[in-house]
Chain A
Amino acid sequence: AQSVTQPDIHITVSEGASLELRCNYSYGATPYLFWYVQSPGQGLQLLLKYFSGDTLVQGIKGFEAEFKRSQSSFNLRKPSVHWSDAAEYFCAVGGFGNEKLTFGTGTRLTIIP
């Protein structure tokens, strides 16, 4: 069975500081990996995705993520966070021929001035 673990329920960082959100997955074949962001009261917006190729993926809003097969990880990073980045972040996994995305439990990001 496929699964996603986001070990950090809540992270607080200062505005301008760097950010890394962790995501570990379990999947029996080559995974398709995603990061979504959800602002309060809103739906989910895709930040970036990995299907194949370059393991460092660039997304919107200055985010990037790196796929590390050996560590079964797909961590999300941003060099300098902005107050508007405060939201909840979800990692998800699927695969070729498997369209049922499985989501992690999310990491809530708080930004302090």
Chain B
Amino acid sequence: NAGVTQTPKFQVLKTGQSMTLQCAQDMNHNSMYWYRQDPGMGLRLIYYSASEGTTDKGEVPNGYNVSRLNKREFSLRLESAAPSQTSVYFCASGDWDSGNTIYFGEGSWLTVV
């Protein structure tokens, strides 16, 4: 029972490089999320997807793009990484309509130098 799986777990990027964080869930959830976690700031929503083919900006979307490839997968892309994007990124999924909660992946540690 994998739940929410994120890859890679660790990544170091140089400023200006691009990369994609991958996320997949096997719980047949409609909703998927990308959050970032920074010290003293809790978790902040980057992007959200209510269903396949739909995405919506969260609190801190600048510098990121997302793609809801299908119901299972939701990727986060950094087109031109900046040091301010050094953070821990969490993917999550949930099925709100059924009163379900949101389940989180184990996180991806990204450092931009």
Contact = CB atoms under 8 A, between A and B. Distances in A.
Contacts of B44: 103
Contact of B101 (A34, A103, A106): A34
A49 B98 CA distance: 14
A100 B107 contact: no
Interface in A60-110: 90, 94, 99-106
A46 B42 CA distance: 15
Given A34-B101, A49-B101, A99-B48, A43 B106 contact: yes
Contacts of A49: 101
Interface of B is mostly: strand
Interface residues of B, number: 26
Interface residues of A, number: 23
- SS class, residues of chain A in contact with chain B: strand
Interface in B38-97: 40-45, 48, 50, 56, 58-59, 90, 94, 96
Nearest to A6: B42
A86 B36 CA distance: 22
Contacts, number: 51
B107 A43 contact: yes
B31 interface: yes
A30 B48 CA distance: 21
B41 to A, nearest CB: 6
Contacts of A106: 42
Given A51-B99, A100-B48, A44 B90 contact: yes
Contact of A103 (B4, B42, B103): B42
A43 B104 contact: yes
Interface of B: 4, 31, 33, 35, 40-45, 48, 50, 56, 58-59, 90, 94, 96, 99, 101-107
Interface of A: 4, 6, 9, 34, 36, 41-46, 49, 51, 90, 94, 99-106
